[in-house]
Amino acid sequence: MFEKAKKILDEVAKKKIKVEIIPEVIFELNYVLKGVYKVKREKVAEILLNLVKTPYLVIENQSLLIEVLETYQKVNVDLFDIYLYFLGKSKNKEILSFDSDFKKLSHLSPTKFLKEPSYS
């Protein structure tokens, strides 16, 4: 499997083929590296950040993912929660969540777009 992946990346680097990576692939890699291979969050963030910054890959939402992964290196919050946080911020939307991890991210932005659920 590793050799196949290496061969494909070599072809991409030589611009013989084009590979586009969607954000969901990054989340799956995070899951596999942390869950299966037991790699620490900080190291996973470094690996994924290097992948997302690879110049010969086409990364959907690249600048957003870079911001997300740089935050992931520093804050012990689920990667997908960080992604939702920054996606909401980029679209000027509020996030409605019961997940307390969003409170850990609220200091990153002077604008309030986190919303506590209320029942009336």
Total domains, the chain: 1
Quick check: helix, strand or coil at residue 113? coil
pLDDT at 113: 47
pLDDT at 117: 58
Mean pLDDT of the region 37-63 = 96
Give the separation between CA 95 and CA 47, rounded to whole angstroms. 28
Quote the domain boundaries for residue 27.
18-115
Does residue 50 belong to any structural domain of this protein?
Answer: yes
* DSSP, residue by residue, 23-68: HHHHHHHHHIIIIIS---HHHHHHHHHHHHT-TTSEETTHHHHHHH
Residue 120 scores a pLDDT above 70? no
Count other Cβ atoms within 10 Å, centred on residue 60: 13
Does residue 2 belong to any structural domain of this protein?
Answer: no
pLDDT at 87: 92
Residue 95 scores a pLDDT above 90? no
